[in-house]
Structure 1
Amino acid sequence: MKENEKKNIGTVGGYVFFILIGVLGSLAMIILLYWSLQLNTTLANFINNTKSEPIYLWTYIILTVVAILLFGLNISLLVYRIKKYGFPNLRSQTSTGLGSLFGVAASACPVCGSLILSAIGITAGLAAFPLQGLELKAASVVFLALPVHLTFRDLKRTNCGDSSCPPPKDISFGSKAIFINIAALLTIIVLGKYGWEMIKTDPLIAGIYTRSETTFTSNNKTSKQTTSQSETPLYDEVVKQVLSESGFQSKIVLGNAVLKLVQNGVIDRKKFENLYESRGGLPEELRLVFDEPKDQPILLTRENANYYINLLWPIGLSNYMSTNKNSPVNGTSLFNFASTGGWNLGKEQNGGAYFNKFEIVPLT
């Protein structure tokens, strides 16, 4: 009885291993597809470039998900086939590689080309295809589905029950099952961590990640001051010291900086105006800030400070300086800082996309 129980546990452990191998294969495929995508663009740009064509976008997403699942299933079935009956005819598995190749080649922005396709002479990238790469995605799914069918058919034929078929082997790993499964699980965790470190820098993911960790963003509305001076004398004294009732007269002028920000998409005028619509819109002094240069020096007051924060912030974010190339901000966490990822009043989902990109104000 104990021997049978051990055998059953070992068999269950074997099936768990095949499931983990499938998950590992799918995870590896996700990383490979994202690597291919980021050679050309980002998830945020891809969605922005294709969201006007929802049929294309959702077909692309569905085909990608199906390809990822099929790849994992193929790997799991292949390992199961090897464990139980030995190596199969490799010709039946050739299409798995072809499907993966097509899937990787198609994982690129349809309007910005693909380095992989360019390497084989298709310089226009996915735009060279009538359906902008959906053909490759569909081919990927077909080539990945084919070996699943062939492997199931092969397993059925191999399990014929007579001497003409190879005798099946025990798929369990015996007493080693738990250690093998733990090793497989740890591999999944390590690969998942690696994939997350890669994917979290994408503007779309970084924007979501940043918003979940950062409570202060440009969308935070200025709360109304409801406390009286008698209730918070220290606060009132600090405000008075920082911004006196008469305001702070600077020598800084915006000039045409805001116009350049709008022109380059760093400020989305509609988003900006919508932010302040519920507060009565922009103050009189800034009504034309998006239409003409502003040459008057900035007078910073308690009333207009919040507006100027959101006008000066994108200048500091996007303005080009040669020294910023070596800035610690300009690294793998570029899209995760509150000062970069927190800016979401531009065309891009994440302000990190604008860091050190445009000559708004000439600096060295």
Structure 2
Amino acid sequence: MLNKNYSAFYIFQVGLKKTFSKVHYWVTTTAIAINILFFYYFLLVQNTTWDAFMQSNTRFYIFMQISLSILNAIFIGTAISMFFNVLEVKKATSKVSLLQTLGSLVFSAAATGCSVCSAFLLPMLGIAASLTALPFGGLEIKFFSLLLLIYAVYESSKITSGLCPLPKTTVISNKNGKLELNFSKETMPQFMPLLVLVLFVAFVYMLPKLPKTFRLQTQKNLISANQTGGKTAPETAAVMKEINPPEGYELNASFGDIGPQMLELGVIDEKKFKDTYDQAQQPLNAEQLEILTKGSDKKIKITPENSYFLLNFFWAFGLANESKILTEGDMVKDGGIEGAGNFASTGGWTLNKSGNAMDYYAKKAIVPLTADQEKLAKEVAENSFRPCCGNSTAFPDCNHGMALLGVYELMAAQGATQSEMYEAGKYISSYWFPTNAFDAALYFQKKDGKEFKDVDGKTFLSNDVFSAFGAQNVKKWLVDNGIQEEPPAQGGGCGV
């Protein structure tokens, strides 16, 4: 029970001072914190790369992720050191509450696990499949983990400071060699650490199910390289012109009436869709509005100006079009249809009428596919990777994957060949990921003497070149060979 003569802050301060008056606890805390930071980094690079993380996320999100990770690591080290100090005190004081001692350890362990909120761990914990399913992109878990750790340190400080009288009756006692549980008014405060832990765990598991009335903008909006207006070196400009041709790249497919069908289905809410582009200061032009509301028989052409429009347009189409890739593939492999709702490509699609993207998941054959056409789309998708993660388009867990899947399905349905689909994927992905496409184009130019237009689309989009890990290897080769030209800064996140 807390002695009212001392404030909580004073007890906290004295407890820390007594613990860290011993040099070995400084060493322990530092070593644990460093290892925890390495652990965070290990988890991060399981599904993405550091470059992709820095390029895709907003500055605020990056700052908060790094800051909260460092603070969590420090307090995990502190909490564990305090726990060891409690054990030392326990040797000299037999009346230390066993529940408080165990509580401090549980807090540290729980925060160590739950404060690492990359998509790599979330499914294993049964929480969600993507950080996009969380209102603040996982920052809220890191923040509350930090509070939990501070509370754990405070609980330990009550013991190590020597300022708080130990309870005369404990929850668990040993009388005559028998363990006894004591539930009484006097022992109830000893349940507080356990209650706080239970509330924390419940909060974490409830997060993906909370109403999505507010979401922090964690991802950068896509900006094509040719829209940045920055000055570039002549050779850099030439490569950028190849991968993002100003005149655009035309696909062997037309829009048809998929826009009006998506509006009718509700997977696109016209007002929300328009407002998104207005807020991004890229309002829809007359042609785009016609594609969306009336349809168009024109061939699809991706340009620097419409790449962002096409990303969201085909994201909705890929999400809603009936496909075995969505209903039988990797998206439902672990958590079934319900689990599929927690990926970035589903939980992140907020521009629909109902407010729940899963209401439209593989809902309708907007563009019917024959068995052969679906097989073709699946084969091309399985060999097309993206640098924001290590997954192929056949596992469309982010917006880029879902959008490109939609493009492939539309092209297959309209009779495009496999090589045409790969080539389209090469150019589309280069507009959506210009930084990585620049590196890959430079890689083939310097290593194999091939210009971008001459590189086979399947090779360009392969796991070895255009996945997160392939992109990292490409960058390493360029750096190792003294080729360090940089494209204009731009980003393409996994949000609308």
**TM norm structure 2:** 0.33
* Higher CA-based Rg: 1
